């Protein structure tokens, strides 16, 4: 996935400006991004604080590690079940 050139804290700052009443087109022009980007950000980060966004980033980084551990555990269980001569 393409990495954003803005941090979560910056994105939340842009969204706060929009909530404060700054027109979306003016915000986009000053920030250098499109209208669609604002609506995408609003769907993902709407109503969040900067600390919550940081926690979200940590959880997203931890998720692949947990998926890998789960996959390895399933492989181990499958290997143990396929051992010949063991009653099930």
pTM equals 0.59
Q: Are 27 and 38 in contact (CB under 8 A)?
A: yes
Give residue 75's domain range.
8-81
Please write the tens of the pLDDT for every residue from 13-71: 999 999 899 999 999 999 999 999 999 999 988 888 878 888 888 998 999 999 999 99
Overall number of domains in the chain: 1
State the Cα–Cα distance between residues 63 and 41, nearest whole angstrom.
21
CATH number at residue 68: 1.10.10
Residue 88 predicted with pLDDT over 80: no
Using DSSP's 3-state secondary structure scheme, residue 38 falls into: helix
Residue among 1, 15, 66 nearest 44 (CA): 15
Residue 72 belongs to a domain: yes
State the Cα–Cα distance between residues 18 and 31, nearest whole angstrom.
12
Residue 86 belongs to a domain: no
pLDDT-based confidence at residue 87 (cuts at 50, 70, 90): low
- pLDDT at 44 (0 to 100): 87
């Amino acid at each position: 996935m393409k990495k954003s050139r803005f941090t979560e804290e910056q994105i939340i700052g842009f969204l706060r400006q929009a909530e404060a009443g700054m027109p979306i087109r003016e915000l986009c022009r000053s920030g250098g991004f499109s209208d669609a980007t604002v609506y995408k950000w609003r769907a993902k980060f709407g109503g969040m604080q900067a600390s919550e966004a940081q926690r979200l980033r940590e959880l997203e980084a931890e998720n692949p590690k947990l998926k890998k551990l789960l996959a390895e555990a399933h492989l181990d269980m499958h290997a143990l079940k396929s051992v010949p001569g063991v009653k099930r």
